[in-house]
A and B are shown apart, each in its own frame.
Chain A
């Protein structure tokens, strides 16, 4: 089983739609979780951290389920500019070091 797994998609949705991505991780000792966004041929950029209690940033909501070892990202009222690849990132701390593990990403295409 891969350490961090995501459905590669693509998710093809119309503007205004709500779309959700899930990500599962295998290391139960994982400490911190993030979603990054990567535009085509660009570097990844931090979208949001994921907290145990769930957190929201505008149209984006992230949730963590430690018992089932998955995190989710919900995007409401999709915009054309949301089209990108969304990377799930899990941080373990082997020996106290911060070594992030990235999922392969989920591709989102928002069309008019």
Chain B
């Protein structure tokens, strides 16, 4: 079973630009969670998608948005980039069935805003 995949692995942007990050969940899984991990900070929940719909959103401004496609892959968009958006962005699939509350992470996208 393929794990969670993310692309790109690294992304360099300048302030004011837009960034698009992509994630494919574990094959057959319908949920995708997005997190931001800034240096020295814990993982902050960003967005949760399930069955193509946004189910919950963390405490982030509207310029953080995303969507989930019919094949359950997902995209995170960050508009009007700010320096403090530099972070590791992680995507996760929850486990299935009884292990639904655990999270399986992709390798992440490192975003650097200059």
Instruction: Please determine whether B101 and A32 come into contact, CB atoms closer than 8 angstroms.
Output: yes
Indicate if the CB atoms of B100 and A87 lie closer than 8 Å: no
- List residues of chain A with CB under 8 Å of any chain B CB: 4, 31-32, 34, 36, 42-46, 49, 87, 89, 91, 97-105
Judge whether B104 and A105 touch: CB under 8 Å: no
How large, as a class, is the contact surface on chain B?
A: 20 to 34
The answer on a CB contact under 8 Å between A99 and B56 is yes
The 10 A-B residue pairs with the shortest CB-CB distance in the complex, in nearest-first order:
A43-B105, A104-B42, A102-B43, A102-B42, A32-B101, A46-B102, A97-B56, A91-B101, A98-B101, A43-B108
**CB of B110, distance to nearest CB on chain A (Å):** 8
B residues in contact (CB < 8 Å) with A: 33, 35, 40-45, 48, 55-56, 58, 90, 94, 100-108
Contacts of B108 in A (CB 8 A): 43
The minimal Cβ–Cβ distance linking A99 to chain B, given in whole angstroms, is 6
B80 to chain A, nearest CB (A): 26
Known: A46-B104, A100-B103. A87 touches B94 (CB 8 A): no
A93–chain B nearest beta-carbon distance, Å: 9
The CA-CA distance from A43 to B88 in the complex, in Å, is 9
Closest-CB distance, A61 to chain B (whole angstroms): 19
A49 to B99, alpha carbons, bound, how many Å? 10
Interchain CA distance A104-B104 in the complex, whole Å: 18
Whether B56 and A105, one on each chain, are in contact in the complex, defined by CB atoms closer than 8 angstroms, is no
B105 and A45 within 8 A (CB): yes
Residue of B nearest to A5 (CB): B42
Q: Is the CB of A87 within 8 A of B56?
A: no
- Distance (whole angstroms) from the CB of A59 to the closest CB of chain B: 21
